[in-house]
Amino acid sequence: MRAAIILKTADLKNFNRALYDIVLGADYGALHAIRNNIIPDIAVGDFDSCTEAEFNEIKANVKRIEKLNPIKDMSDTNEAVSIVKDYDEIFILGGIQGKRIEHLFANIIDLINNPRLKILDENSLIETVDTLTPYNVRLNYRFVSIYAIEESLISLSGFKYNLDNYLMKTNDPLGLSNEVISNPKIDLKKGRLLVIYSHGE
């Protein structure tokens, strides 16, 4: 099952509701979804970024509201993730864009802590790879960057820059901006990876 969490910076022009079993709007993201003709199943947040009129608009359209105390330990996005934590795939939409880069960093921490989580926008996709699940390289992106979440032994084939049983440490930037050539494969023998796809400019 797949879940989408919509943030206020999400680009929704190509959003396909049929791809997701459940859609959540995180804080102002719920209103952003509504104004793009997407009605979330759940709106979650403290809604401190909404005016009273805007929050009333959310309440008029969304059946389930999870109203949070503004004084809390977790972000609105993190709370939304906790609601769908058992779904097979959880996509955060809009978690890359915007001026609050500290939120992107927090979202990446969430992603590292939850292997079901992915961060998606019109240009990029961020996800993790481990040794427990078979992994297919996504072919619809030009650039692939690979970083070790923990010390990892990897081989790459079908890329512009291949590797053979390379021990990648967590402080190693070698995996930046590789490119798919043909039949790409990531063979992870041990460890865990953060994989960032990008269409580029």
CA distance 130 to 93: 23
CA distance 48 to 56: 13
User: What sign has the CA pseudo-torsion 155, 159, 145, 194?
Assistant: negative
CA distance 16 to 27: 21
**Percent with pLDDT over 90 in the chain:** 71
- What pLDDT sits at residue 73? 64
- pLDDT tens digits, one per residue of 98-107: 677 787 888 8
pTM for the complete prediction?
0.88
Report all structural domains of the chain as residue ranges with CATH numbers, in order of start: 2-122 (3.40.50.10240), 128-198 (no CATH)
- pLDDT tens digits, one per residue of 78-127: 899 999 999 999 999 988 866 777 878 888 888 899 989 999 988 899 99
| pLDDT mean across residues, the chain | 92
User: What sign has the CA pseudo-torsion 127, 100, 38, 200?
Assistant: negative
- pLDDT tens digits, one per residue of 159-172: 999 999 999 999 99
* Banded model confidence at residue 146, pLDDT cuts 50, 70, 90: very high
- pLDDT tens digits, one per residue of 9-45: 899 998 999 999 999 999 999 999 999 999 999 999 9
